[in-house]
Amino acid sequence: MDKIYLNQMQFYGYHGLFPEENKLGQRFNVDLVLELDLGKAGQSDDMDDSINYGTVFNVTKEVVEGKSRNLVEAVAHDIAERLFSSFDKLQACTVKVYKPDPPIPGHYQSIAIEIYRERP
């Protein structure tokens, strides 16, 4: 299967279990791997035969910057669901959501959740 990668998209959302996360918000980064057949797009050079990256970004932004969720797992799940409902050509996707600044003591770069989903 061919793949389209969107890496380290940056958003600001209000997800988390702690009240300060829902009130103050924080940064979230998202990586996507979109799986589909790109053979026709390569031959036709026509966007209708692929998936528009700008639209993918906007769909992802709507989820991350939209309603508050308790778990990053729910954010990743909702992104995958919205991508499948928005793009008929999408066969599978990997969604990785990073939370660079969770309110957890210690030294680390980020926490992240990664899910893989195939078209239902």
State the pLDDT at residue 120.
77
Domain span holding position 40: 2-118
Contacts of 17 (CB under 8 A, 6+ apart): 70, 71
Domain containing residue 23: CATH number: 3.30.1130.10
State the pLDDT at residue 86.
97
Helix axes 72-86, 53-64, angle to 10 degrees: 140
Q: CB–CB of 112/96 below 8 Å?
A: yes
State the pLDDT at residue 98.
96
pTM confidence score: 0.94
State the pLDDT at residue 4.
98
| Ramachandran angles phi, psi of 52, nearest 5° | -75, 120
* pLDDT, tens digit only, all 120 positions of the chain: 999 999 999 999 999 988 888 889 999 999 999 999 999 999 999 999 999 999 999 999 999 999 999 999 999 999 999 999 999 999 999 999 999 988 778 888 889 999 999 997
State the pLDDT at residue 92.
98
State the pLDDT at residue 13.
95
Q: Which residues of 43-65 are buried (b: 16+ CB within 10 A; e: fewer)?
A: eeeeeebbbeeeebeebbbebbe
Q: How many domains does the chain have?
A: 1
Residue numbers annotated as active site = 99
